[in-house]
Amino acid sequence: MTHLITGNKFDPNTDIPDLSGKIYVVTGGSSGIGFGIVAHILQHNPAKLYLLGKKEEHIQWAQDELKKYGDTSKIVPVQIELEDLHNVDEVAKRLAKELHQLDGLICNAGLGVGVYNETPKDGIDSHMQVNFISQFHLTMVLLPLLQQTANSRLVLQSSDLHRAISDVQFASLAEINRDIGPTMLYNRTKLAQVLFVRAMARRLEKGELGFDANSHTGPWINAVHPGGVSTDQPKQAEDAYGKLASAAVAVLRPLMKDPVDEGCRPALFAATSEDIVKDKVQGQYIVPDRKVTEPSKQAKDEQLQENLWRLTEEILSDKLRSLPYRTQYVDPMAKEGLHGQPAGRQ
């Protein structure tokens, strides 16, 4: 990957190839980095671009602003509430039924550093549910589409803050539902995203979970770090930490990258660049703009990856009752007493 390491610039205005005929899904696409991702994909002529967002007014604003970048008739707006697993399930199943191909799924949506809350309908730490669990479910439902689309991409928007947390086991929901402080709540989700990318890439290499290890064409699965970006997430930190955070943000904001011009570059590189295929960039961690680098030691811990996968399946199975994809650890039949055994690895 010498080319990637020595050539670290990626200009989305000129370096994204023509995307004619391609279909993308972007979560959190109505503001910040997500809007930048959507804008630059639209700029390069995709067939369809599904913009998933939380608030109808934000989605409408984004559609109006996107007229500057391309043909907004290609935008398919989808309202999704990541704090409600049943809503996520409905949206995911709708997309799986509606789409015939999927060239890129970019899981960008996320809560920033903020106070501890549990989701009102599911009773899960909101950071973990929004930033990871809901998007894990969306990914798994759409995975067959990614697998059948040549050289498709799966991109998770992580952060270098995944390095700044320890003592995480992903052993139980009780562990997840502990208030470990605004910064650590965020950092834990960023670690989870890199763990998931690496666990998924291992399954691809082994030909598990519907992957064909001998004739791999997609997806190319990577996590990215956007760098320090000026979005609404610092406002969440201000709400969590008060005047001290406000002062820090005031000092740092002029140094932060613009989300539309720069913050979206690593995700766009991972989602669109032909170099991902040429250099076989799989299961990696990419920092601005296009540099593959080593994630934390924790992120490479295979047991921690499997703990996370198991716990996520257990939570989703408990909240949704049945999962429309092949599970790794939870036996959905056992829940109904059909297998006569407690849930365990299949």
- Residues acting as catalytic residues: 186, 190
Q: Which among 70, 42, 268 has a CA at the least distance from the CA of 153?
A: 268
Burial (Cβ within 10 Å: 0-12, 13-18, ≥19) of residue 302: exposed
Q: Which among 213, 230, 233, 261 has a CA at the least distance from the CA of 69?
A: 261
Q: Which two tokens stand for residue 116?
A: 């501890």
Q: Report the C-alpha dihedral over residues 26, 134, 81, 246, rounded to 10 degrees.
A: -80
Please list, in sequence order, all residues whose beta carbon lies within 8 angstroms of the beta carbon of residue 234, skipping any fewer than 6 positions away. Answer: 112, 245, 249, 252, 253, 256
Pairing state between β 220-224 and 284-287: parallel
Calpha distance 77→30 (Å, rounded)? 9
> What do you get for the CA distance between the two ends of the chain, in Å?
36
Half-sphere exposure of 78 (CA within 13 A, CB side): 25
Half-sphere exposure of 105 (CA within 13 A, CB side): 27
CA torsion sign for 10, 151, 88, 79 is positive
Amino acid, res. 251: V
- Distance (Å) of CA 110 to CA 28, 187, 283, 305: 7, 12, 21, 20
Q: What share of the chain is helix, strand, coil (3-state, %, to 5)?
A: 50, 10, 40
* Length reported for the chain: 346
Calpha distance 251→95 (Å, rounded)? 42
